C-alpha cells in the first residue's frame, strides 16, 4: 500500500446503511479526515426548527434562504471520540441533530438548492489536500465527481429501519419500529426524487449491499477496495 498517495473516498447511499460508521473506521485506518455531510444538512434543519422556519405543516423556504449567511457550520475534532463534532454558530449541536424530529425535517431542508450550494462549496474546500473520507448522498456525483474511490451503500428498508430502531432504543429513545420504518422510506423517497442532486449511484461507484453483512464484514469489504486503490 502506498502510504504517500492521498485520495478522496466518497461514500454515498441510503440512510441507515452504516455509511458514517464505515467512513469513520476507514478514515481512522488510513489516517484521513472524516466528514459527515449529513450532519451539516441536519444542523441547517435544526437551525430552521429553532428559528421557527419549519415545522410539520409549514416551511418558510424564503426565510431560510435569507438566513443562510447567518448559518456558520464548522467541525471540531474531539480527540476522546476520535472524530469531529458538528458546531452550529459556535455551539456543539451533536446531541440535537440526530433526533427523529430533525430526521423528519432534514430532507425538506436538503432539497433547497441554495442550501446545497452553500454546503457543497464548503465541502469542496475541505478536500483541497485530499486525504479525506466524506459521506453523504451526492459526494460521488456532485461534490467530488473526480473522487478516486466511490462506494455506494444499500440495504433493504426493513433491515435499515431495524438497525436505526435498535440504535435508538439502546440510546433510551422510546419509539415504535413502524415510526422508524416510515421515516426511512419517506426519506428514501424524498432523497431519490428531489430535483437538485438526488441520491443516485455514480456510474463509477462500487455498490455494497450490506443487508446481510455485519458492520465488520462491511468494513472488510470496503477496506479491500481502499487498499486496492491505494496500491494502484
Q: Which residues bind ligand DC (CB under 6 A)?
A: 15, 37-38, 41-42, 106-107, 110, 136-138, 187, 191
Q: Helix/strand/coil (H, E, C) string of 178-192? A: HHHHHHHHHHHHHHH
- The torsion angles phi and psi of 7, rounded to 5 degrees, stand at -125, 175
Three-point CA angle 150, 155, 157, nearest 5°: 135
Going from the C-alpha of 150 to that of each of 8, 11, 122, 155, 189, the distances in angstroms are: 8, 6, 20, 17, 22
Output the smallest distance, CB 190 to ligand DC, in A: 7
- Order the strands of the 8-13 sheet from edge to edge: 33-36, 132-136, 8-13, 149-154, 206-209
Output the smallest distance, CB 187 to ligand DC, in A: 5
Rounded distance between C-alpha atoms, residue 90 and residue 34, angstroms: 20
Rounded distance between C-alpha atoms, residue 6 and residue 9, angstroms: 10
Output the smallest distance, CB 20 to ligand DC, in A: 7
- 59: DSSP letter: B
Of 30 and 191, the one with the shorter C-beta distance to ligand DC is 191
Q: Is 52 helix (H, G, I), strand (E, B) or coil?
A: coil
Of 140 and 230, the one with the shorter C-beta distance to ligand DC is 140
Output the smallest distance, CB 231 to ligand DC, in A: 28
Q: What is the chain's length?
A: 232
Output the smallest distance, CB 53 to ligand DC, in A: 16
Of 60 and 122, the one with the shorter C-beta distance to ligand DC is 122
Of 183 and 230, the one with the shorter C-beta distance to ligand DC is 183
Of 197 and 230, the one with the shorter C-beta distance to ligand DC is 197
Quickly count: other Cβ atoms within 10 Å of residue 48's Cβ: 26
Output the smallest distance, CB 40 to ligand DC, in A: 7
Of 97 and 230, the one with the shorter C-beta distance to ligand DC is 97
Amino acid at each position: 500500500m502506498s502510504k504517500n498517495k492521498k485520495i478522496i473516498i466518497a461514500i454515498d447511499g441510503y440512510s441507515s446503511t452504516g455509511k458514517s460508521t464505515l467512513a469513520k473506521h476507514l478514515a481512522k485506518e488510513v489516517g484521513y479526515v472524516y466528514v459527515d455531510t449529513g450532519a451539516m444538512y441536519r444542523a441547517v434543519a435544526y437551525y430552521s426548527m429553532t428559528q421557527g422556519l419549519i415545522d410539520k405543516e409549514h416551511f418558510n423556504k424564503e426565510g431560510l434562504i435569507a438566513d443562510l449567511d447567518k448559518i456558520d457550520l464548522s467541525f471540531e475534532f474531539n480527540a476522546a471520540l476520535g472524530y469531529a463534532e458538528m458546531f452550529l454558530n459556535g455551539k456543539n449541536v451533536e446531541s440535537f441533530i440526530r433526533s427523529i424530529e430533525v430526521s423528519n425535517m432534514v430532507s425538506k431542508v436538503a432539497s433547497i438548492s441554495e442550501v446545497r450550494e452553500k454546503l457543497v462549496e464548503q465541502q469542496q474546500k475541505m478536500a483541497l489536500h485530499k486525504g479525506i473520507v466524506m459521506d453523504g448522498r451526492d459526494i460521488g456525483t456532485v461534490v467530488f465527481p473526480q473522487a478516486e474511490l466511490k462506494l455506494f451503500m444499500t440495504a433493504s428498508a426493513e433491515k435499515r429501519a431495524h438497525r436505526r430502531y435498535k440504535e435508538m432504543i439502546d440510546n433510551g429513545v422510546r419509539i415504535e419500529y413502524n415510526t422508524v420504518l416510515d421515516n426511512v422510506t419517506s426519506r428514501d423517497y424524498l432523497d431519490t426524487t428531489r430535483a437538485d442532486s438526488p441520491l443516485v449511484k455514480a456510474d463509477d461507484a462500487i455498490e455494497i449491499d450490506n443487508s446481510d453483512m455485519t458492520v465488520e464484514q462491511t468494513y472488510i469489504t470496503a477496506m479491500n477496495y481502499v487498499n486496492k486503490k491505494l496500491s494502484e
